[in-house]
Chains A and B, each alone.
Chain A
Amino acid sequence: MARSTNKTLLITRPNYDIVTNYFYYWSKQIIEEAQRQGHAVLDISEDRANGKEFTGRVAKMKPELIVVNGHGNGSLIVGHDQRPLLSTTNADVSEGSIVYARACESAQALGPACVRSGAKAYIGYAQPFWLCFDRTSMHRPLEDKRAGYVMIPSNQAILSLVKGNTAGEASQRSKEASRKMMTKLMSSDAPEGASQILSCVWTNMHFQQCLGDASGTI
């Protein structure tokens, strides 16, 4: 797909507990693909993943795509060490951008607030984001096959946006990736604990929402 210009991706990668550590490492694939596509990447990671840095960078650079990794609730996503990053009170920073939020429940109120504030689209989760992982692989998150069943479909939404697909297509491709994972998990060579992983993949797929303009692209 031809694109007229290169775009800017801003990604937050806090890293202070098991979940954010998995998000931190699994986001590397996104950064690499964005760079391969010729996009500029603003990587706000670890202790720089705080509200001041995030708001300042977004306001200055006006990224076409904002990827927020972190813990969340209906109206707030926190960054490093649980410091507020994006909430209904600073949702206006997302004006003109597409937002993908890998966090719990933010599609309930934060997503709609971003769209009302002018975000083109917001892809997020209306319920908790569930992650299964192998406790023996925690120090090598990218080698954790259990986590891969959950993280690959999630990453697919962002990779699809990076490649120029619409927000609606990105969400659909993520859900298609989830369905492929579910089929693998129901096959005869499914891993131990497949039923649990399957329930996590299904829940994330079921509650992933694309809000705003589904035809929007970065």
Chain B
Amino acid sequence: MNTAPAISDDIKRLILARLDVLPPDMGIAIGGEGEFTPTQLKQHVQEGDRVGQMYAEMQLAFLRSLKDGSLYE
């Protein structure tokens, strides 16, 4: 999951839009990487660093499962 190419601008916009609607008191922990607010995650996604990539790839995999109907599998 961590070896994917850089996040494209289109994907960034999609992920950032999803983060925009989260309540500010939401915490998201990515195991040993740490805990993040939506604002902090937006910054990581914009910078395209390791945390941003991990978050973007997780979101993309989830959105693909919605699209192809495999959410419950």
Number of A-B contacts (CB under 8 A): 82
Interface flag for B68 (CB, 8 Å):
no
Interface flag for B28 (CB, 8 Å):
yes
B32 touches A104 (CB 8 A): yes
Residues on B with beta carbons closer than 8 Å to the beta carbon of A78: 32
Contact digits for B1-36, partner A, Cβ 8 Å, 1 yes 0 no: 100000000000000001001110111111111010
24 contacts between A and B (CB under 8 A): A18-B29, A18-B35, A19-B29, A73-B32, A78-B32, A128-B54, A128-B58, A131-B28, A132-B28, A133-B29, A135-B37, A136-B25, A182-B71, A193-B22, A195-B21, A196-B26, A196-B28, A198-B62, A199-B59, A199-B62, A200-B28, A202-B65, A203-B58, A203-B62
- Complex Cα spacing A132 to B30, Å: 9
A193 touches B26 (CB 8 A): yes
Residues of chain A at the chain B interface (Cβ within 8 Å): 17-19, 22, 71-73, 78, 103-105, 127-136, 138, 146, 179, 182, 192-193, 195-196, 198-200, 202-203, 206
Q: Given known contacts A179-B72, A203-B58, is B31 in contact with A134 (CB within 8 Å)?
A: no
Identify whether the interface residues of B are mostly helix, strand, loop, or mixed: mixed
